[in-house]
């Protein structure tokens, strides 16, 4: 579910909303404040349940216990799905209970069905670890937290250029860091992202339709894959390029494969969609 759900429609409060008792209860009326805004500080675990489902109520009680034992690194929002159908529809709920972690206003991870406490605790720990250092409220309650290191002015300059829409300036700044520190992983990752964003700005929005109409047009396929990625459809981008690897040979196959590997580098190598796509690529090559 990560990155695939548009929650923006829920910023407008519903005309009326059924109230659900509980300290962590959230309805359509307060979703923006309690989930979207709160998730810019710490991840918010949204538990969608039903009063008619004893198993989902048990899970809600477990989550209420766990959030009370936490250090403030995450928050809980419990949503009675039948009384708040717009929220359930926005998350694409297929079963009850459904639990979704929201960070910075976007879904990060989810699971469906009642789970044992050990598994839920591990899932929450993974969510918190994924946003540590990215959301200001995570780790704020740790007494032994180390003082925050001063920002590297080189990265500040690169990020400022990017915020101003100066892609070339940002690319130059990150490349300067790598010239001085060739193994700087943060600069490498940032440079890949900025180079991708810069490339996407120049693409023709009609490239996708052109590629779909003519599968033999490799240039259109490469552009369409970038647009798929920019539109948060990485699997579609990967599949498009793997199809090109299958149907081409020689230099064209090398171009398709190289482009695909560049898109892989935008992700953690252990990301499941990348692992699956690498298997498909291997099958296409051999």
Write down the pLDDT at residue 202: 86
Structural domain including 270 reads 206-285
Shared domain check, 252 and 192: no
pLDDT given for residue 20 in this prediction: 38
Residues 91 and 160 in one domain: no
Q: What is the number of domains present in the chain?
A: 3
- In 180-259, DSSP assigns E strands to none
DSSP-H helix ranges across 47-152: 54-69, 85-90, 117-131
Question: Is residue 22 included in any domain, yes or no?
Answer: no
Per the domain annotation, does 187 fall within a domain? yes
CATH number at residue 90: 3.40.30.10
pTM over 0.75: no
* Dist CA 125 CA 7 (whole Å): 24
Q: Do the beta carbons of residue 194 and residue 170 sit within 8 Å?
A: yes
Task: Answer whether residue 73 is part of any domain.
Answer: yes
Which domain-ending residue is among 144, 168, 201?
A: 201
**Bridge-based pairing state of the strands 44-49 and 75-80:** parallel
Same domain, 117 and 58: yes
Phi and psi angles of residue 218, each rounded to the nearest 5 degrees, phi first = -65, -40
What is the CB neighbour count within 10 angstroms for residue 101?
Answer: 25
163 and 181: one domain? yes
User: What confidence score (pLDDT) does residue 70 get?
Assistant: 82
CA atoms of 139 and 128, how far apart (whole Å): 9
Asked if residue 15 is part of any domain, the answer here is no
Q: What is the pLDDT of residue 10?
A: 55
Low pLDDT (below 50) residues in the chain? 2-4, 12-21, 143, 145
Is residue 87 included in any domain, yes or no?
A: yes
């Amino acid at each position: 579910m990560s990155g695939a759900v548009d929650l923006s429609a829920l910023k407008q409060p519903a005309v009326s909303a059924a109230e659900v008792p509980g300290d962590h209860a959230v309805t359509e009326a307060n979703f923006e404040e309690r989930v979207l805004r709160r998730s810019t500080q710490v991840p918010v675990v949204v538990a969608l349940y039903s009063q008619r489902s004893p198993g989902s109520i048990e899970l809600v009680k477990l989550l209420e216990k766990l959030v009370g034992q936490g250090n403030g690194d995450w928050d809980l929002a419990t949503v009675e799905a039948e009384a708040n159908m717009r929220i359930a529809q926005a998350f694409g709920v297929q079963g009850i209970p459904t639990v979704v972690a929201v960070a910075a206003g976007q879904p990060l991870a989810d699971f469906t069905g009642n789970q044992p406490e050990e598994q839920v605790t591990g899932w929450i720990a993974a969510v918190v670890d994924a946003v540590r250092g990215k959301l200001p409220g995570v780790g704020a309650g740790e007494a032994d937290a180390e003082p925050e290191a001063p920002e590297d002015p080189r990265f500040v300059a690169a990020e400022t250029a990017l915020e101003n829409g100066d892609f070339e300036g940002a690319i130059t700044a990150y490349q300067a860091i790598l010239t001085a520190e060739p193994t700087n992983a943060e600069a490498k990752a940032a440079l890949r992202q900025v180079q991708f964003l810069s490339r996407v700005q120049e693409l023709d929005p009609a490239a996708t339709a052109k590629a779909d109409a003519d599968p033999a047009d490799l240039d259109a396929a490469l552009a369409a894959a970038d647009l798929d990625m920019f539109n948060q459809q990485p699997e579609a981008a990967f599949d498009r390029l793997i199809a090109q690897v299958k149907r081409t040979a020689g230099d064209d196959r090398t171009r398709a494969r190289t482009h695909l590997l560049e898109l892989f580098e935008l992700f953690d190598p252990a990301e499941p969609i990348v692992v699956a796509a690498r298997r498909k690529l291997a099958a296409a090559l051999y």
